[in-house]
Amino acid sequence: METLSTATAFGGTQGVYRHASTATGTDMTFSVYVPPHAPGAKLPVVWYLSGLTCTHANVTEKGEFRRACAELGLIFVAPDTSPRGEGVADDPDGAYDFGLGAGFYVDATEEPFARHYKMWTYVTEELPALIGAEFPADMDRQSIMGHSMGGHGALTIGLTFPDRFRAASAFAPIVAPSQVPWGQKALGGYLGDDTASWRRHDAVALIEDGARIDALLVDQGAADSFLEKELRPDLLRAACSDAGIDLTLTLRDGYDHSYYFISTFMADHLHWHAARLNGEGAA
């Protein structure tokens, strides 16, 4: 692991790091904020998955999470959204919603993406092993959150590994990618035409198929231009209602899809995560 930069913030350390990933076959860059802590202490970990076109840098620079993480004692990890580098396939038309910056947190099976686009394995296996080895992380206390495409990733990973992640939340997530254009393009391009294989990467479908989690927290901007066509939180509300999952879904008047929205409610989400990571349930 190579340290690219570190800076002191709210008494802790914000770092950016790079390593050679065996999952993707590329170098991968990620950021980690470690709050102030006693020597030898192990701290709970919050994973943050970013959205389309983003890298680790978007939330690191604009997410306004460090003050809350310092107060709550949370490590905050932000991976990249796709493999990058020479030889990594991209959308042939250069579209923003597929290829580089749009890995959708799946392990691709379709060529030419299958070689490098292994973001599910990277985020759920390889990077957690590295974080556990290199940082003062209590890997028995993990939670996950994300935005848009990363909200999709956070929900699907949280639903798939409910014993690993004590909490899952999202800002403006793509809740049913099998039913919206962004998701249909990505899942078809990465996983092929067999739509049955898409269901394990679709939060609504996972819930319909029996996946369960105690509670979910979702914030959605009411002025989000992607709300009705791509995000469809109504589908998640219906699925959670049918399954008996405690969903807190709040439509925020006046807010859009940007980091102005995310940063406004970031501390609320981190407090919600901290309560569950510290065994306080719905506190």
Where exactly are the structural domains of the chain?
2-277
Please report which confidence band the pLDDT of residue 41 belongs to, taking 50, 70 and 90 as the band edges. very high
On the question of pLDDT at 283 being above 50, the answer is no
64-110: per-residue pLDDT in tens? 999 999 999 999 999 999 999 999 999 999 999 999 999 999 999 99
pLDDT of residue 281: 57
Write down the number of H helices and E strands in the chain: 9, 9
What single letter denotes the amino acid at residue 68?
A: A
Q: Are 205 and 178 in contact (CB under 8 A)?
A: yes
CA torsion, ordered 109, 52, 270, 165, to nearest 10 deg:
-10
pLDDT of residue 105: 98
User: Scanning the structure block, which residue is given the tokens 């639903």?
Assistant: 159
Closest to 107 (Cα-Cα) out of 95, 118, 94, 93: 118
> Which residues are the active-site residues?
148, 224, 257
234-273: per-residue pLDDT in tens? 999 999 999 999 999 999 999 999 999 999 999 999 999 9
Cα maximum dimension of the chain: 52
97-117: per-residue pLDDT in tens? 999 999 999 999 999 999 999
Is residue 69 left, alpha or beta, with left meaning phi > 0 and alpha meaning psi from -120 to 50?
alpha
**Domain 2-277 CATH class label:** alpha beta
- Mean of pLDDT values over 9-14: 98
DSSP class of 198 = G
